[in-house]
Structure 1
Amino acid sequence: MSDVPEGWRHVKLKDCGTWWSGGTPPTEEPRFWGGDIPWISAASLKDFRITDSDRQVTHAGSMAGTKVVERGTVLFIVRGMSLKKEFRVGVAQRRVAFGQDCKALLPHTSIDGTFLGLALKARERDILAMVDEAGHGTGRLPTDLMQRLEIAVPTDLVEQRRIVEVLDALDEQVVSASQELAKRRKVEAGFVASIFKVDSRPSWQTPTVGALLGGGGGIQIGPFGSQLHSYEYVSDGIPVIMPQDIIGRSVSPDKIARVSTRKSRELARHLLVAGDVVLGRRGDLSRCAVVRTENEGWLCGTGCLRIRLDGSRVLPEWLALAYTQDYCQRQIAAMAVGSTMPNINSGIVKNLRVPVLPIEGQSRAISALDAQRVGLSAAELKISKLMHMKQGLVKDLLSGRVRV
């Protein structure tokens, strides 16, 4: 580890406190289960501040093969599928019992439990590098390696707790912003639901998608696997929209695949223009997005389907919005094919009936929804900035680079 500032020290995890192993009371014994003591397992350790679990043991159960620890104890997963991708750690906020897939560490009085938990979470990358495989894809975190892990700790307990307070304050801002975002999403969902009360509006027209294509429109399925192989993807090139890139009626470029310009010319019939509607045609059949100006010239990828409208009766944004609503999704579920994974094809999409308003009504509804999206985007951006700030502060505060 790097040097630490004055007033800090390196401590091996084995010297941070008392270690405990957990266990499971016999599950066939009813008097051991259904009590008021949360029993923490690899599946239930999801929150950093541990207050409850989906399973509880009784007082009798707490003395039958498990271990009970007090508030302030740090618990972390040492065995489980989750160790393949994340290190779950938490701090008990009350007395809890725990299973054999977890370890517990009761810190010495010179170390604050929450600080210790945060310090371990900050070393997630190093800890995951220790994980080996116990069989059947289950990750295992060797205790001896964990005990040799060193963390940096302020000698002053007050400084440890001040660091925790700073990060707690930032967490509170994230929670507040997340609650605001949830409210805005609820308002948006209510607004959209109020628009598409098709059954209560007998005057609605419900033409098929095929009838909305007109002379200049059409439906095109993305290239098959034989036309576009995995080895043809490149790090820099023309983006290819896959079902997983369709998020919230938009295309996310974050993890998008790309092909060379030469390959894109070979697949020219799959090139997209602004106003196209792209659907995921297998798996999650609610994925639908409108191609924006910034997406023009991208490719419709394998697993997707493109709709090109003539624009005289329905706006692309309206079609994408209507497609994700219950009226259309019930039809899609009923018409989808495939025994292991639901699929749709161009014939199914052509026969899909879509509720439509006159173009002017569509435009007003989309404009109102866009105005709400501005507030949603601002709330999402605020959360993103707070999370980025927290990531930087965690590294700086828990290494002593920034002092409280």
Structure 2
Amino acid sequence: MTLPAGWTETTLGDLGNWQGGGTPSKLNRAFWTNGTVPWVSPKDMKRTLIDSAEDYITEAAISGSATNLVQEGSVLLVTRSGILQHSLPVAINIVPVAINQDLKALTPKAGILSPFVGYTLQARGPQILREFGKAGTTVDSIEFERLKSSAFALPPTSEQRLIVQKLDTLTAHLARVRTELDRIAVLADQLRSAALSTARAQLVASVVSITDLAISTFDGPFGSNLKSADYVPSGIRVIRLENIGRLKFIADKRSFISTQKYEALTKHTLKPGDILFSSFVDRHVRVCQFPAEFDGPAINKADCFTIRPNTAVCDARFVTYMLASPQTYDAMKAKVHGATRPRIGLSQLRGYELPLPDLEVQARIADQLDVVFADADRLEAEAARARALLNRLEAAVLAKGCCGELIPQDPDDEPASVLLERIMRQQGEERDKSRRLRKNNSAKEQPMTSKSSSARDKLLEDSQNWPTEGLKYEEVATRIALPHDELRDALFELLSEHEPKVRQVFDKASKQMMLQRIAA
């Protein structure tokens, strides 16, 4: 692509200092008890500004483990997580944080704005996943070194600032619209509940139990009659709890048994028009009709209660609607048992009573509710379409902003190439200054070999008391009072000796590297 005036091309790796993280040992309570430093992992990357985390660690954990302290205003990027199958989380920390091994952090150089880099990574997210994503056996990851070498279009600092201001305004507006669209689903659900409650409250009729209005009621096979080992990739459908929605049959979640197994369970065969009722009652009653257009035979599973209505006395649609009403929910909620998975029994459902007017009135009420529910479904569908358009609009706005098409270029801006040259010059001057300081202070400093040797001796002496199976690095660090860098240098020295007395081995049970003393 042709860069706008004043822009220059660099690499993602040259934007600043990249660093990774790690997980402090959970065995060391000093690393976690009363922690004050947010320890960010992928589960915290659900927002674009990070000021807290689910877990906190201590300063001792930072100095004594593989994690690092990331200064505020850095760009955080998830590089290893299952979420990379569909999205690339990017955020900016507004307080100092530590990160785990699944994240990378960029602290940009002066003149390179974190929000601009963050927006650019968001805009490039799909492309990054396509070009640098790597599928793993358990989680996906990013080939980070390749990503760091990829090209990055950098505008002048003043233009970065204007782009960020523009994108902040536009994305904030889109977020408000998205919030309003999300409310439509809540309002549609409230509309359905109000219609059901009103229809139920206005009924004036004698009550009839579920048993009296049904030809039969039955549960699915349970226990040894249908085990996990009985399921196969294809065959006869088994309708499970996840297929029962609130007045909606969820067909895309599929489970099967073999034809041979089905022959032993035919008494559980479902028929079109059967009413499926979930025994688990949580936020609302989940009940729906088994669809007439269902392809092939199917059975219900345990806790998927089935009511086969007697169409001579009741309209199946009417009964389904009344079972979904708030009044039924209140009655069932009072009957539930089980603290973690609140459920009712089949006998309680059989004994539940509904007001049952004549068939003509039932059909009229069901027709009216059909109209209300169709309107609510249409509202939700339109909101979903609008949200999809909003997502595409946001992606387009980010792309335009990060390639120079959102605001005009100012010819008076300092070109980004000059910015990079100045950064490189400053870095060279800092390196030269550091070399001079080391040279001037060399006579005053204790030789590195002496310090390392002292640390080496402490480590070697302690290794004589290690257990045969060895210790993890974090466990060694808690035994020896040495700064992290000194301990690490001493360990590398011992491991690199011509006849080493310490070695690293991989423990298959814990799936971790262990340090072992080599027997004399």
| TM-score, scaled to structure 2 | 0.53
Closer, same or farther: CA 149–63 of 1 in aligned 2, 3 Å: same
Task: Spell out the pairing of 1:189-338 with structure 2 (5 A cutoff).
Answer: 189-196=193-200, 205-213=206-214, 217-223=215-221, 224-225=225-226, 229-231=230-232, 233-234=234-235, 239-258=237-256, 268-281=266-279, 286-295=285-294, 297-303=296-302, 304-325=304-325, 327-329=327-329, 332=332
Asked if 2 retains the 8 angstrom alpha-carbon contact of 1:13 and 1:147, the reply is no
Could you tell me which amino acid in structure 2 is paired with residue 257 of structure 1?
A: S
More strand by share: 1
Closer, same or farther: CA 132–221 of 1 in aligned 2, 3 Å: closer
Cα distance in 2 between the residues matched to 1:41 and 1:67: 11
Is the partner of 2:376 in helix, strand or coil?
A: helix
Closer, same or farther: CA 56–244 of 1 in aligned 2, 3 Å: closer
Query: Which residue number in structure 2 is paired with residue 45 of structure 1?
Result: 44
Could you tell me which amino acid in structure 2 is paired with residue 115 of structure 1?
A: T
Could you tell me which amino acid in structure 1 is paired with residue 232 of structure 2?
A: Y
Task: Spell out the pairing of 1:12-161 with structure 2 (5 A cutoff).
Answer: 13-19=12-18, 39=38, 41-42=40-41, 45=44, 47-50=46-49, 53=52, 67=69, 69-70=71-72, 73-77=74-78, 89-92=89-92, 95-101=94-100, 103-107=104-108, 109=112, 111-120=116-125, 123=128, 129=134, 145-149=143-147, 153-154=152-153
Q: Which has more radius of gyration?
A: 2
Cα distance in 2 between the residues matched to 1:276 and 1:90: 48
Cα distance in 2 between the residues matched to 1:313 and 1:362: 10
Closer, same or farther: CA 28–187 of 1 in aligned 2, 3 Å: same
Cα distance in 2 between the residues matched to 1:339 and 1:181: 29
Task: Spell out the pairing of 1:156-195 with structure 2 (5 A cutoff).
Answer: 174-195=178-199
Closer, same or farther: CA 381–392 of 1 in aligned 2, 3 Å: same
Closer, same or farther: CA 6–190 of 1 in aligned 2, 3 Å: same
In structure 1, list runs of 5 or more residues that go unmatched. Answer: 34-38, 134-138
Task: Spell out the pairing of 1:375-386 with structure 2 (5 A cutoff).
Answer: 375-386=375-386
Asked if 2 retains the 8 angstrom alpha-carbon contact of 1:249 and 1:321, the reply is yes
1:374 aligns with 2:379: no
Cα distance in 2 between the residues matched to 1:91 and 1:361: 57
Cα distance in 1 between the residues matched to 2:10 and 2:136: 21
Asked if 1 retains the 8 angstrom alpha-carbon contact of 2:237 and 2:256, the reply is yes
Counting aligned pairs with the same residue, the percent is 17
Could you tell me which amino acid in structure 2 is paired with residue 96 of structure 1?
A: V
Could you tell me which amino acid in structure 1 is paired with residue 118 of structure 2?
A: G
Cα distance in 2 between the residues matched to 1:76 and 1:130: 17
Query: Which residue number in structure 2 is paired with residue 356 of structure 1?
Result: 355
Asked if 1 retains the 8 angstrom alpha-carbon contact of 2:232 and 2:258, the reply is no
Query: Which residue number in structure 1 is paired with residue 422 of structure 2?
Result: none
- 1:87 is displaced (CA, Å) by 6.3
Asked if 2 retains the 8 angstrom alpha-carbon contact of 1:76 and 1:103, the reply is yes
Cα distance in 1 between the residues matched to 2:386 and 2:376: 15
Cα distance in 2 between the residues matched to 1:107 and 1:366: 63
RMSD value over aligned CA atoms?
A: 5.2
Is the partner of 2:218 in helix, strand or coil?
A: strand
Is the partner of 1:294 in helix, strand or coil?
A: coil
Asked if 2 retains the 8 angstrom alpha-carbon contact of 1:242 and 1:280, the reply is no
Moved more, 241-250 or 381-390: 381-390
| TM-score, scaled to structure 1 | 0.65
Closer, same or farther: CA 128–212 of 1 in aligned 2, 3 Å: farther
Cα distance in 1 between the residues matched to 2:185 and 2:356: 29
More helix by share: 2
Closer, same or farther: CA 399–84 of 1 in aligned 2, 3 Å: closer
Is the partner of 1:279 in helix, strand or coil?
A: strand
- 1:306 is displaced (CA, Å) by 1.7
Is the partner of 1:355 in helix, strand or coil?
A: strand
Moved more, 154-163 or 117-126: 154-163
Number of positions where the alignment pairs a residue of Structure 1 with one of Structure 2: 370
Cα distance in 1 between the residues matched to 2:325 and 2:241: 18
Could you tell me which amino acid in structure 2 is paired with residue 311 of structure 1?
A: T
In structure 2, list runs of 5 or more residues that go unmatched. Answer: 25-29, 63-67, 406-520
